Amino acid sequence: MPIDFEFTEEQQMFRDTIRDFGENEIAPLVEDAEKNEKFPREIFPKLGEMGFLGISFPEEYGGVGLDKLTECIFAEEMGRINAGIAMCINAHTSLSCVPVHKFGTDEQKKKYLIPGIEGKVIGALGLTEPDAGSDARSIRATATKKDGRYYLNGTKTWITNGTMADFVIVAAYTDKSKKGTGISLFIVDSDAPGFTEKNKIHKLGHRSADTAELVFENCEIPEENLLVGEGGFNGAMDTLLGARITHAAKSVGLSQAAFEFALRYSKEREAFGKHISKFQAISFKLAEMAVKIETARLLVYKAAWLYSNDRKALKEASMAKLHAAEVVQWVATEAVQVLGGYGYGVEFPVERYYRDAKLASITEGTSEIQHIVIARELGI
């Protein structure tokens, strides 16, 4: 069977549609979203209407029924438009809707997945805590069952979509004696009694992304909102596997945006009587940017292909996430250098690309964690 690196005609058309939507419906909102540090929630119903929130979900739930490859095309194009907005969309589809689809009951899917695909409700994943980031088994949140209900206590932080989510998938221990395996996953409605605070977090980059600390004090959860019983940690890790691939695609999109702007600027800016793109120091930077972006993109789509075909993709997903994170930070730094002083100012978006790029090596599994996963998969 020959190797084909070309997108299908359907995927090409899908990319054109996504790009057109992003440039016409989302790009005009970016400046205000970044300035006000507020995600433009009004785009969610539009995304749902276009089918962009249900790319890889079955048609029976209102999805499009396509694959991870196509989902990565979408994530890359959104990352190219704005990293913060792309992150909120990814958190909704990959981190909250995916576990409902994979582990939810029919009733849970009707209540949360279908309207989530339609863009009528927004979801989030509550895993990280103030004292438990990379070591997710060390979370302290607990959920105790009493009289047919669960009572959740704990704090979650750095939660994307935190203040605007209609529901949150929350990880909590139902049996503290079982490290890791005693964790369960719950669907918590934003208006649940005891869901007491939603403190917004202000950030270096991704300013248009809604990020918050969530506090639960004897938060009442109906028994039917248990998503995954003990062993939920594996469910959370399975969710993160797919999310890391789309996150890597988002990083490729951000890299592409930084590269395109630097390339365009270099062809317009003149110094010493010629465009700076003609200077070897600049042309070599741009050439190296193009090479690194293409290698990151190939890793992303290989991982997506494996995932779509139910092949083992843990190592490849971590490789894609790690490499894309390194590439986007390098490309964004070099883009600033190409623009010189203008790259350091806020007049052009390159300084935003630079700020946004750093998060790639931190969120959804740090680069250090990806090294650990890759080494383990190599048998080390």
Find the Cα–Cα–Cα–Cα dihedral 369, 201, 117, 153, rounded to 10°.
80
Our measurement of the distance from residue 260's CA atom to the centroid of its chain's CA atoms, rounded to an integer in Å, reads 22
Alpha helix ranges (H) inside the chain: 9-21, 27-36, 43-50, 68-81, 83-90, 98-103, 106-108, 114-118, 232-268, 280-308, 314-339, 341-344, 350-357, 367-377
Q: How large is the angle between the packed helices 68-81 and 9-21, nearest 10 degrees? A: 30
Tokens of 110: 């009707």
Closest by CA to 374, choosing from 331, 325, 328, 330, is 325
Running DSSP on this structure, what letter comes out for residue 26?
A: I
Burial 370-380 (b: 16+ CB within 10 A, else e): beebbeeeeee
Residue 62 to residues 22, 37, 148, 344, Cα–Cα distance (Å): 22, 31, 32, 45
Ordered DSSP codes for 181-200: TTEEEEEEETT-TTEEEEEE
Q: How large is the angle between the packed helices 350-357 and 83-90, nearest 10 degrees? A: 40
364 is catalytic: yes
Ordered DSSP codes for 94-132: IIIIHHHHHH--HHHIIIIIHHHHHTSS-EEEE--BTTB
Q: Tell me which of 213, 364, 368, 377 is the catalytic residue.
A: 364
**List of residues 6+ apart from 171 with CB closer than 8 A:** 126, 127, 136, 139, 141, 183, 184, 185, 232, 233, 236
Q: Would you name the residues annotated as active-site residues?
A: 364
